Structure 1
């Protein structure tokens, strides 16, 4: 089954690309856990670089078009991956919840488009600072969506996290723009995607969900994005190749990370992507670290880590 703990890992890496699932129970041992942490940190670095590529391309081309090309590479990767699994493509296509699987794929691809648009309008730093609220949104929505009970501690963490978001957005300070809601909407959609993934995991194996994520999302974005087709400038093909290469490498390393270590041990380190995108945003794109963004991001991340920890305690 898909490891639904991995869908709650810091969602920024999933914003860059759909989250993978843990293929099997990893062997115990501190050395293996250390390797998994190393791999997840490398994954976050690669996804941060990918977000930089997305911002460059999204500023020159429609984000829907950029995401469409990226999803084509993702679909090829998934087809190659599932074809090597027992049962191959025929097994991966067999789902007991086709409507929910298709809905998952569509929700995720729209979320990725929102993120790329936010990268262009807000920058990498502020986008990821707000998007870090995703684990709290998962906790808040798990009750109405899945009927799960959320304890008062996690509700307090959700409230603290939203206070951090308000600090970042400064809604009463006269500086908030409608674009500032893009990463929050993306986080909300990814939280819904994660809960739908948990729902289908009750019946569908991991690779089935992974297959439907790529195929349904890829088909949906193609039906819309193909109308914005335009040939890339020669230099932009290099950026697009880097984008697709990062997506493939990031997925592979994340799969390896969840093969060698438990998801609960890796979750806190997935927040390192916020560090990497901050460095890339400041150095490569000249973004400014406003004090309210730094303070709000610290609050959101702390609340998110606490939320993930409480979820782990409850599942244990």
Structure 2
């Protein structure tokens, strides 16, 4: 058992964290939003890789329930430390509405994900930003400047370059089920954007875990089987990754227009390629490399345009 960190070392780490937070605060809000969104994408790619493996050996609805239950368990010490009053929402109805919509999207996602390839899952998931951008215009009346549409179109084109040669359609109806989850998740994220107007990011993330856990429990009990020790460890890891990812995503929505951050989602494909190469030795194909360059170019360009602001 390693000895506890010395007070001097703890103070050093605290100072480094304060310096990083100070540097982050000096960036313009658009850049902050893009960085939060990129961090969320990386966390969710790792999370989805683990969750897909778990859902292939356990009931998908049980997997969904345990992921959010363990996510709530991870955040519980923080809640108790700050006090329950600090996490009391201003709009409890909005929190449960968001939880119900997100649970519906998760149900569709978990039904489909064990039956289709990861390439198909990734490709279909990238239709989400289009639904979110449309919703941002219709619901929040956000200004949709041509740069945002162009960055989204270029990023989506990069995705098609990567996954186009690999799409098989072997999933049949499950591809349509996965596609149906995209507008439902978009609605959930739009509700999140609305909640950020008067709720803290931590409050939204905690209540998402509470509501999704409650809504998922009846479905999980239908085909319950006890997970093994290793699976419990993976669920705990998923709880940490999911809570951190949703926190980053909520911070990005609070910092800027939701439509301004959608082009960054296409970087998820780059993260997935890097993780596959480093963890599993999957060498990227030529189409992946070309598409990755296109996606990165679109993301860097829109980041610079958003930092400069509208003319």
TM-score range with shorter-chain normalisation? 0.5 to 0.7
* Structure 2 counterpart of 1:6: none
Q: Residues 211-259 of structure 1, C-alpha deviation per residue, up to 9 Å, x if partnerless?
A: 2211111111112222221233x4xx31332232243266459869999
Q: 1:305 to 1:222 in 2, by over 3 A?
A: farther
* Structure 2 counterpart of 1:122: 116
Q: 1:130 to 1:286 in 2, by over 3 A?
A: farther
C-alpha separation in 2, matches of 1:164 and 1:112: 26
The alignment's TM-score, normalised by the length of structure 2, stands at 0.66
C-alpha separation in 2, matches of 1:208 and 1:27: 20
Q: 1:245 to 1:279 in 2, by over 3 A?
A: same
C-alpha separation in 2, matches of 1:182 and 1:307: 31
Q: 2:223 pairs with 225, 228, 253, which one?
A: 228
8 Å Cα contact 1:107-1:190 kept in structure 2: yes
8 Å Cα contact 1:160-1:300 kept in structure 2: yes
Q: Does 1:108 align with 2:102?
A: yes
- Paired residues for 1:294-309 under 5 Å: 299=294, 303=298
* Structure 2 counterpart of 1:192: 187
Deviates more, 1:105-114 or 1:270-279: 270-279
Q: Residues 13-66 of structure 1, C-alpha deviation per residue, up to 9 Å, x if partnerless?
A: xxxxxxxxxxx9974338x99xx9999999876654443332222112221111
C-alpha separation in 1, matches of 2:47 and 2:103: 16
Q: Residues 74-100 of structure 1, C-alpha deviation per residue, up to 9 Å, x if partnerless?
A: 122233222222xx223423323x332
Q: CA deviation at 1:119?
A: 4.0
Q: Which structure is higher in RCO with an 8 Å CA cutoff and minimum separation 6? A: 1
Q: CA deviation at 1:107?
A: 2.5
- Paired residues for 1:29-108 under 5 Å: 29=23, 47-85=44-82, 88-96=83-91, 98-108=92-102
- Paired residues for 1:128-277 under 5 Å: 128-164=122-158, 175=169, 177-232=172-227, 234=228, 237-248=229-240, 251=243, 274-277=269-272
Greater CA radius of gyration, 1 or 2?
A: 2
Q: CA deviation at 1:298?
A: 5.8
Q: 1:118 to 1:150 in 2, by over 3 A?
A: same
8 Å Cα contact 1:125-1:274 kept in structure 2: no
SS in 2 for 1:57: helix
Unaligned runs of 5+ in 2: 1-17
Q: 1:164 to 1:101 in 2, by over 3 A?
A: same
Q: 1:168 to 1:179 in 2, by over 3 A?
A: farther
SS in 1 for 2:81: coil
SS in 2 for 1:28: helix
Q: CA deviation at 1:67?
A: 1.0
Q: CA deviation at 1:209?
A: 1.6
Q: How many residues align?
A: 280
Root-mean-square deviation over aligned CA pairs: 4.7
Unaligned runs of 5+ in 1: 1-23
